[in-house]
Chain A
Amino acid sequence: MNGFSFFAAGIMVYIAVIVFLVGMAYQIYGWVKIPRSSVRLGIFPRPKNKGVRFFKLLKDSFIFPHSAEVDPWMWIFAIFFHFSLAAVLLAHFRMVREFTPLVNVLGKEGMEKLGAIAGGTMGIILLITILFYIFRRFFSPYKDLSVFEDYFIVFLLIVIIALGDHLRFFAKLSVSDYRAYFQSVLMFRPYFPEAIAAKGARWVLTMHVFFVNLFVMYFPFSKLTHAIGTFAVNSVRSDV
């Protein structure tokens, strides 16, 4: 690892995690310390019981079916984007520890094939949907509504996804190489294993991690907190 790689793919990861945790705790404290409105802000019909209300909360937060009625295209792209993002995030845990039960079922080659096909598909879906997000903002009324933050977040995501796709399709690195790097970060001794250090793709990986760090650090202070806040506001919806 040279100086920049050591900073961007090593030290900065720890800084990003600390900023994220402290920032998120500060943000949540900021929300919780302010008292709720004395007026109930929900809309009818009233859910029959707590179980129904909870199910409605999950449905509104994960599928938001009412939005599909007014803007079906945006809804389709949003659903594809968010579910692919969740799947990709989950798949990254393979770099912490191999999904052994899946390997037992599929075999080593089968697992690689699944990774290539599912990972590749998700990568392309993410790229298409994020490009839709940015192109949508080039037109009125979205253009007039957008602020700098909107473009900044989409820019970060485009770079992260494009670099991730590059690693998936062109880097020809095996998951065990990534795992060796990822575990070295977890052990507080970041380094690139031979297979990564010898290839030009180490720069792609470095920049991928660098932009992810920026994204993670910016998360608690931005509209990205909708990932957490959505549960609180959607529960207000059925508070009648």
Chain B
Amino acid sequence: MMENNSMIEKNVAQKEVLLEVLKSKINRQLLFYLDICARCAICRDACHQYKVTKDITFLPAYRAELIRRIYKKNISPFGRVFPGLFEGKEVDDEKLLEELGKAAYACTGCRRCMVYCPFSIDTTWVISVAK
């Protein structure tokens, strides 16, 4: 029982640390990138990794979407009220962390996605939060 309690406390503390990291990285550009992406996936073929593997984790919009889901659930004022609209996720969601790890480590930071995005969203900048 004691062990269980300390595990829960540790998890809560870890979650708070992760959230604080995300909050400390927020600036105006990042907020815009998180708020306005239309998920049109025009960036699809901009990423050489996605083009070759067809793995959704490497789709630039999806890489940024992983950070966006945490942002919507925990930080965005409207997203916190209606997280279901944006599929908001907790920062310690296991599947999300696994995908985020894969997306962040694989991103080379070439910024081709920014060149082709109709809104010039810099996915490298968004994913740097996870890096």
B17 CB-CB contact with A under 8 Å? no
B31 CB-CB contact with A under 8 Å? yes
Give the top 3 A-B pairs by smallest Cβ distance, nearest first: A237-B120, A64-B118, A229-B36
A-B contact pairs, 27 of them (CB 8 A): A31-B28, A31-B31, A35-B27, A43-B115, A64-B118, A67-B116, A67-B117, A67-B118, A71-B45, A141-B44, A141-B56, A142-B39, A147-B65, A148-B84, A150-B39, A152-B85, A223-B36, A223-B38, A226-B119, A229-B35, A230-B36, A233-B29, A233-B36, A234-B120, A236-B29, A236-B120, A236-B122
Contact status B86-A43, CB under 8 Å: no
Interface hits, B106-131 → A, CB 8 Å: 111, 114-122, 125
Tell whether A70 pairs with B44 under 8 Å between CB atoms, given A32-B28, A233-B121: yes
The residue that B59 contacts in the complex, of A30, A141, A221, with Cβ under 8 A, is: A141
The residue that B33 contacts in the complex, of A35, A152, A233, with Cβ under 8 A, is: A233
Chain A residues, CB < 8 A from B56? 140-141, 144-145
A225 CB-CB contact with B under 8 Å? yes
Contact status A234-B119, CB under 8 Å: yes
Q: How many residues of A are counted as interface, with CB atoms below 8 angstroms from the partner's CB atoms?
A: 43
B100 CB-CB contact with A under 8 Å? no
Contact status B31-A74, CB under 8 Å: no
A175 CB-CB contact with B under 8 Å? no
A41 CB-CB contact with B under 8 Å? yes
Chain B residues, CB < 8 A from A140? 56
Closest A residue, CB atoms, query B69: A147
Tell whether A36 pairs with B28 under 8 Å between CB atoms, given A67-B117, A223-B35: yes
A to B contact number (C-beta, < 8 Å): 119
Tell whether A37 pairs with B36 under 8 Å between CB atoms, given A67-B42, A71-B45, A141-B59: no
Contact status B32-A147, CB under 8 Å: no
Closest B residue, CB atoms, query A69: B116
B40 CB-CB contact with A under 8 Å? yes
Contact status A37-B85, CB under 8 Å: no
Tell whether A141 pairs with B42 under 8 Å between CB atoms, given A43-B114, A223-B35, A226-B119: no
Interface hits, B47-76 → A, CB 8 Å: 54, 56, 59, 61-62, 65
Tell whether A74 pairs with B27 under 8 Å between CB atoms, given A141-B56, A145-B59, A237-B114: no
Contact status A145-B41, CB under 8 Å: yes
Contact status A71-B31, CB under 8 Å: no
In the complex, which of the residues B26, B42, B65, B87 has the most CB atoms of chain A within 10 Å of its own CB atom? Answer: B42
Chain B residues, CB < 8 A from A109? none
Chain B residues, CB < 8 A from A226? 36-38, 119
A64 to B: closest C-beta gap in Å: 4
The residue that A36 contacts in the complex, of B27, B37, B84, B115, with Cβ under 8 A, is: B27
Q: How far is the CA of A221 from the CA of B28 in the complex (A)?
A: 17
The residue that B32 contacts in the complex, of A35, A70, A233, with Cβ under 8 A, is: A233
